[in-house]
Structure 1
Amino acid sequence: MSAPVLHAVFGQPVAHSLSPYIHAAFAAQFGLAIDYRRIEAGPDDFAAALAAFATAAGRGANVTLPLKELAASLCAEVTPRARRAGSVNTLTRTSGGWAGDTTDGIGLLQDLGARHGVSPVGLRVLMIGAGGAARAAARALLDADVAALVIANRTPARAQRLVEALADPRASASAPDAVPGRFDLVVNASAAGHQGQPPAFAAAAMDSGSVAYDLSYGAAAAPFLALATSAGVRTALDGLGMLVEQAAASFALWHGHPPDTAPVYAGLRARLA
């Protein structure tokens, strides 16, 4: 019997990650043997940790906060969509080094549309945050034909740099205290929830016609979803479905098998409940 294929998720913090459970469940659908680990790494030690993982015969990895932009710079090659997003969340080992891709945007759109029936087409969208996950999500939403995308970040200059990278007339940057009006879809891509602090300014951007979506899940999403509920939104969603769908896209890249996400999502939702 061959040894399990080595995979991992890198991030900081990463102890809470559900990725090992998700990928084990996907592998079981096809009778595959994998060894999927959590590896704690910050920006200063990520390159060394990734090199050690490669030496240990690591074949594929996921990347989460705060490493997605840095991951792109460590790749020998990146896919066009990852290059356009300036963000990598999926690494595949090749003979030439690491190949980078991003499946975050795929996961977001699949969860919004297929699972929750929310089409981004023609929506006015507020994106809170300008990190790696925000970059991929912003690119995907523009490609899905939103009407307008406003990016608000606690450091306005970073939001402006993302807008310039997106190079799309529908995208604009805003300071948190100057967000213009209400939005059909408000996406929280910031890490504020990990510190228990929702972006309070977002409340004024939501009403009963809005959909609120946090890219995080569990405790990290709770502050923003509570804020959205108090603002009277019609739908408040966490990113658990996005997590499962982006993982499925990564799994298919590594193993060539698109997994069934429905039972895995249901199991995780019950587990979190």
Structure 2
Amino acid sequence: MTQPEYDFAVIGHPISHSRSPDIHAEFARQTGISMQYGRIDAEPDQFEETVRQFFANGGRGLNITVPYKERAFDMAQPHLSQRAREAGAVNTLWVKDAMIHGCNTDGVGLVRDLNRLGTLRPGIKILILGAGGAARGVVGPLREQGCGLLMIANRTFSKADTLVKEHIALHPQDTGVITACSLNDPRLEQDWDLIINATSSSLGGATIELPDMAFGNDTFIYDMMYGAKPTPFLDYAARHRKLAMADGLGMLVCQAAESFRIWHGIEPAVDAVIEQIRMQLVAHVR
């Protein structure tokens, strides 16, 4: 197959909705770096060959989105960052010494956005909803921020428990700090500092219900999903009380900024880019 003439691209299936080209175009403009960034829609049976051909044709970097992050992880073995190894998934690829290397920037992106929003502090109590790939990619980076408690709640307890045990096996010092529970566990009935929705429930218009006691006066609500309007989970939380909240657009831009830094050695500013992409989203639905 013939590849488009891009230095960099995002690859997934489907891919037409991706905001990554707009984000990286702004980063390039702001830093004065010349780059061509496009979209590649790879059919499931063509992903690996498409990646190899992209780099063989002189491509310099790829962002990976659904449903290929785990397959990108396999392709980058053994040249994986520690973040990628812990996440079990890769969203950033590049070639060094003729070998494909991989990293996962999702967790760093979330932490950078939360710090930008002023929500992280030592000893914070964090509740993560969901135990899938989105949660797996952020547990380690969140723990590195010095949280006092990080509880992973999932409908299927065993999935959350497995995620916690895998993390503890690598970081035994986190025993008792990172824990798992089901969505009907009484331990949810406490005042959380930060609640993160790492499920995809908002995509289908559904949400996860929590005990009223989980929402304190100063609880910050964060949904990894984003859109032109508040997500169903943010709407649900807002019905309980007036709380500070944010969707995942900032995380998207911040994880892209980390990919940009890996490729170019320059960390771009994100605030103006987040605002610009937000305006594009809103304009699109008018």
| Fold match by TM threshold 0.5 | yes
Q: Which structure 1 residue ranges, 5 or more long, are not aligned? A: none
CA distance in 2, matches of 1:179, 1:272: 38
How much does 1:25 deviate?
0.9
1:209 matched to 2:218 = yes
1:97 matched to 2:99 = yes
- Structure 1, residues 94-136: CA drift from partner, whole Å, max 9, x if none? 23432111222221121111x2111242111111122333112
CA distance in 1, matches of 2:163, 2:135: 9
How much does 1:220 deviate?
8.7
Aligned to 1:164: 165
Letter in 1 for 2:183: P
CA distance in 1, matches of 2:229, 2:133: 17
Q: SS of the counterpart of 2:184?
A: helix
Letter in 2 for 1:171: I
Q: SS of the counterpart of 2:76?
A: coil
Out of 217-226 and 163-172, give the one that drifted further: 217-226
When normalised by structure 1's length, the TM-score is 0.88
Q: SS of the counterpart of 2:7?
A: strand
Q: Which structure 2 residue ranges, 5 or more long, are not aligned? A: 169-173
Letter in 1 for 2:182: A
CA distance in 2, matches of 1:42, 1:132: 21
The answer (yes or no) to whether the contact 1:42–1:67 under 8 Å persists in 2 is: no
- Structure 1, residues 6-36: CA drift from partner, whole Å, max 9, x if none? 2222334433221110001111223333222
- Structure 1, residues 207-254: CA drift from partner, whole Å, max 9, x if none? 332111011211596111111111225211111111111111110111
The answer (yes or no) to whether the contact 1:69–1:131 under 8 Å persists in 2 is: no
When normalised by structure 2's length, the TM-score is 0.84
Aligned to 2:29: 28
1:256 matched to 2:269 = no
What are the within-5 Å matches in structure 2 for residues 172-191 of structure 1?
172-178=179-185, 180=187, 181-182=189-190, 183-191=192-200
The answer (yes or no) to whether the contact 1:92–1:254 under 8 Å persists in 2 is: yes
Aligned to 2:65: 64
CA distance in 2, matches of 1:198, 1:56: 44
Counting aligned pairs with the same residue, the percent is 39
Change (3 A) 1:154 1:60: farther
How much does 1:64 deviate?
2.6
Letter in 2 for 1:213: Y
Letter in 2 for 1:246: Q
The answer (yes or no) to whether the contact 1:69–1:132 under 8 Å persists in 2 is: no
Letter in 2 for 1:36: Y
Change (3 A) 1:57 1:138: same
What are the within-5 Å matches in structure 2 for residues 1-273 of structure 1?
5-41=6-42, 46-76=47-77, 77-113=79-115, 115-167=116-168, 168-169=174-175, 170-178=177-185, 180=187, 181-182=189-190, 183-201=192-210, 205-218=214-227, 222-232=231-241, 234-273=243-282
Name the larger-Rg structure: 2
- Give the aligned CA root-mean-square deviation in angstroms: 2.5
The answer (yes or no) to whether the contact 1:186–1:211 under 8 Å persists in 2 is: yes
Letter in 1 for 2:99: G
Out of 40-49 and 255-264, give the one that drifted further: 40-49
The answer (yes or no) to whether the contact 2:228–2:278 under 8 Å persists in 1 is: no
CA distance in 1, matches of 2:211, 2:64: 27
CA distance in 2, matches of 1:262, 1:146: 25
The answer (yes or no) to whether the contact 1:127–1:152 under 8 Å persists in 2 is: yes
Aligned to 2:171: none
Letter in 2 for 1:86: G
